[in-house]
Amino acid sequence: MARYTGPSCRLCRREGVKLFLKGTRCSTEKCALSRRSFPPGQHGQNQMRKKTSNYGTQLREKQKVKRIYGVLEKQFRHCFRIAERAKGVTGLTLLQLLERRLDNVIFRANFASSRSEARELVQHGFVYVNNRRVDIPSYTVKTGEEVAIKTKKETFVKAIKDRRESLTDRVIPKWLDVDKTDPKIKIVDIPKKEDVGFQIQEQLIVELYSK
């Protein structure tokens, strides 16, 4: 499947906000955004002086959310259509669907330093939902389900433990109940907007797709 393989810092510069796409390797001292706080490209500095249209603002908000969760346009549009058909506020439902992706759950539980690393764990068959192996990163977890990482390799188990210890400064959202000893997660609630961790104006995305 197609996937962006270019420099992660370029995406942060384009959106004008630090997206933490590299996980633990994304240090503030070496951050390209802090050194060059303008969009990438030959005319990046000139773009800062231009007034952005309503469409441009909506597009940038959509692109930012796509890049935070590491999804492609087709996947993102599919999530939006599901949110649009569901009961409740479309924008909030969209964010909840993205938060409940299996790869995001692994990332938010501090079992991986980035969503791309969490996606690899899922695709390689290390992740189980209710004791059933699931290798689809976009799988949507439900309240009451238990997610676990299982492997017979002790070195891998130690690597997961070390990863958790190195990410203690990262807050685990309240809708996840993470076991302190074993790599297990219990889904105890539906995520709220404040659990996302980014300032997102989801209504702009709804307006963009409603045209």
More confident residue, 32 or 84: 84
Average pLDDT taken over every residue of the chain: 82
Residue 45: pLDDT band (50, 70, 90) is: low
Considering only CA atoms, which of 175, 20, 21, 171 is closest in space to residue 96?
175
Count of beta carbons in the 10 Å neighbourhood of residue 178: 18
- pTM score of the predicted model: 0.79
Q: How far is CA 4 from CA 8, 11, 70, 98, 117, in A?
A: 9, 10, 9, 18, 14
Q: What is the mean pLDDT of residues 32-51?
A: 54
**Could you read off the pLDDT of 129-173 as tens digits, one per residue?**
999 999 999 999 999 999 999 887 777 777 878 877 778 778 899
Structural domains of the chain in order of their starting residue, each with its CATH number: 8-98+198-209 (1.10.1050.10), 101-189 (3.10.290.10)
**Could you read off the pLDDT of 183-205 as tens digits, one per residue?**
899 999 999 999 988 889 999 99
Q: Which amino acid is at 65?
A: V
- Cα separation, 133 vs 126, in Å, equals 8
Q: What is the mean pLDDT of residues 77-98?
A: 95
Q: Is 177 left (phi over 0), alpha (psi -120 to 50) or beta?
A: beta
- Cα separation, 81 vs 49, in Å, equals 35
**Could you read off the pLDDT of 169-187 as tens digits, one per residue?**
788 999 999 998 888 999 9
- What is residue 10's predicted lDDT score, i.e. its pLDDT? 57
Residues 11, 40 contacting (CB under 8 angstroms): no
pLDDT over 70 for what percent of the chain?
A: 76
Residue 1: pLDDT band (50, 70, 90) is: very low
Residue 21: pLDDT band (50, 70, 90) is: low
Residues 149, 111 contacting (CB under 8 angstroms): yes
Cα torsion through 106, 109, 114, 117, rounded to 10? -30
